[in-house]
Copies of this chain bind each other. A is one copy, B any other.
Amino acid sequence: MARGNCYGQGWWHGRFTGCGYRLTIGRELILDILSKSDKHLSAEDIYVKVHSRNPAIGLTTVYRTLDVLSNIGLVYKYDFGDGRARYELSEGPKGAKHHHHLICTKCNRVIDYTDFIDEEVELLNQTEKGLSKKYDFKITNHLIQFYGLCNACASK
């Protein structure tokens, strides 16, 4: 390993050790897959990819790792209504683009959108402040989703 270059271990290295977690082969692999892959992967999706690269890693570890990552705040866990959780990296080496979701209630297709995000987030921040004070609630996160029918499902 190249000394003097702590980036050689991946940008997330500190996020683990800083929280007292150990950085294992499996965890690195899962993070690598999450950071390179398309979004909204299920645990099973991730497991398939992980397993093709390293068959020694089991589904249980995938679940456990996703749980850890979720607690650390490195991944968001979503419920899009199809009975399985979906995971998505909350930030990348350069920070991820904040976005929200459009969900088709018929085919479960998910569309990411970043339009109007700024306005939304600004309003949410204001709201958060107000709510935090009124309800003595320490808000750490928010979720916005729109439901409806995608063009394919609406036209039949």
Contacts and interface: CB of A to CB of B under 8 A. Distances in A.
Interface in A47-78: none
Contacts of A135: 102, 111, 113, 150-151
A14 interface: no
A29 interface: no
> Interface size for chain A: under 10, 10 to 19, 20 to 34, or 35 or more residues?
35 or more
Nearest to A145: B143
A126 B40 CA distance: 26
A38 interface: no
18 contacts: A102-B139, A111-B135, A111-B137, A113-B134, A115-B134, A120-B123, A132-B148, A137-B146, A137-B148, A137-B149, A137-B151, A138-B148, A140-B147, A141-B146, A142-B145, A142-B146, A143-B143, A143-B147
